[in-house]
Structure 1
């Protein structure tokens, strides 16, 4: 059974869409080692709060980040299980390519 059969395809689609933007990839890179609040992300990324909020919402809707509220601050961290789903989805292609015979075209 492949991950596509287990995971909802819209979840996979949202995950790869979220990974299609350089700012969102940069956010994920910043969250690799620690949880960060919005103010810390703003400081490093040097973008407007509204722009960051849009990207964080996209990452959250894709399930790639988790949030935790402490007082008035929201802290973001990676949601590793969802990243594993995307990784496994791609790994399924690697495993399947050895099973699919090559086809000659346009001789």
Structure 2
């Protein structure tokens, strides 16, 4: 496991990317992928990933994510925590605000999963 800003994340290496259909998944791999898919299988979380991915510096402050989603700050923070705990995002605190970035390996896993 890899430590990311104080929390443990099990981000796979680029070589660990799995494509459905390449060969049957074993149970541990299926469970790992199911956990990742469960974390992103929410409209608000997909929006968050999209916004962060499209951000000019590839990162976004939680303060900039509230209005586009139309959700309260605690709700947005909850969704960001789920994504961070799943290893999809990293979190960096700067003063009062937290900034989030995509974890490249996890983003690649999501992109490659269905190709």
In 2, Cα distance between the equivalents of 1:25 and 1:53?
A: 14
| CA distance in 1: counterparts of 2:29 and 2:95, whole angstroms | 34
TM-fit CA distance, 1:41: 0.4
Structure 1 residue 39 corresponds to structure 2 residue 70: no
Aligned residue for 1:103?
Answer: none
Give unmatched runs, 5+ long, in structure 2.
1-15, 19-24
Q: State the number of aligned residues.
A: 90
User: Is the helix fraction higher in 1 or 2?
Assistant: 1
1:59 aligns to 2:68 (yes or no) = no
- Greater RCO (Cα-Cα under 8 Å, separation 6 or more): 2
The change in CA–CA distance for 1:43 and 1:82 in structure 2 (over 3 A counts) is same
> 5 Å matches for 1:73-84?
73-84=97-108
Task: Please point out which of 24, 27, 32 is paired with 2:45.
Answer: 24
Q: Distance in 2 between matches of 1:86 and 1:44?
A: 23
**Kindly tell me: are residues 8 and 60 of structure 1, through their superposed partners in 2, closer, same or farther at Cα, counting changes over 3 Å?**
farther
Q: Which runs of 5+ in 1 are unaligned?
A: 92-107
- Normalising by structure 1, we get a TM-score of 0.70
In structure 2, the CA distance between the partners of 1:33 and 1:2, relative to structure 1 (3 Å rule), is closer
Deviation at 1:88, TM superposition (A): 3.3
TM norm structure 2: 0.65
C-alpha offsets along residues 17-54 of structure 1, whole Å, 9 cap, x if unaligned?
A: 12211000000110112211111101221211121121
Task: From the superposition, tell whether residues 11 and 48 of structure 1 become closer, same or farther in structure 2 (CA, over 3 Å).
Answer: same
